[in-house]
Amino acid sequence: MHLVNDNITVLGFASITAAGLWLASAFMLTGRLWMCVAMHAAWNFFQDGIFSVAVSGHPVRNGLWISKMNGPDWMTGGAFGIESSAIAFIIVVVVTVGLLYQAARYGRIVRPFWKRIDRNF
């Protein structure tokens, strides 16, 4: 859905894809959809309602603090928002790997049906 938003970039697309994997890994670990919904809502609320930065290419609105992002677009996310930055991408990938590691450790990763077949009849 974010691909049709204004000011999308390749890095923004990569970050949004990584964020989808982040939310999926949180679901795999907890088995709770509300956790993913709350994480997505908090991400958007803090960007828009607290720090006043663009969220997924939408116009900036005044939040609790008025922020001004300075620097190159690859670092600040440009007009799409901080989620289109290399910094956010790296953080989301690291957190996703950590969540996937925990999900694997606790046996929360469900194997595909073709690998779950018991061949010991």
Query: Does residue 79 belong to any structural domain of this protein?
Result: yes
Total domains, the chain: 1
**Structure tokens, 37:** 């919904």
What pLDDT, on a 0 to 100 scale, did the predictor assign at position 34?
Answer: 94
Contact 54, 81 (CB under 8 A): yes
- Predicted pLDDT of residue 96: 96
Determine, yes or no, domain membership for 29.
yes
* Cα–Cα distance measured from residue 111 to residue 6, given in angstroms and rounded to the nearest whole number: 38
pLDDT value of residue 120 = 62
Domain that includes residue 74, residue range: 10-108
Residue 118 resides in a domain: no
State the DSSP code for 65. S
The per-residue pLDDT for 100 is 95
Q: CA-based Rg of the chain, rounded to a whole angstrom?
A: 17
Q: Per the domain annotation, does 2 fall within a domain? A: no
Predicted confidence at residue 47, as pLDDT, reads 85
Higher pLDDT, 28 or 62: 28
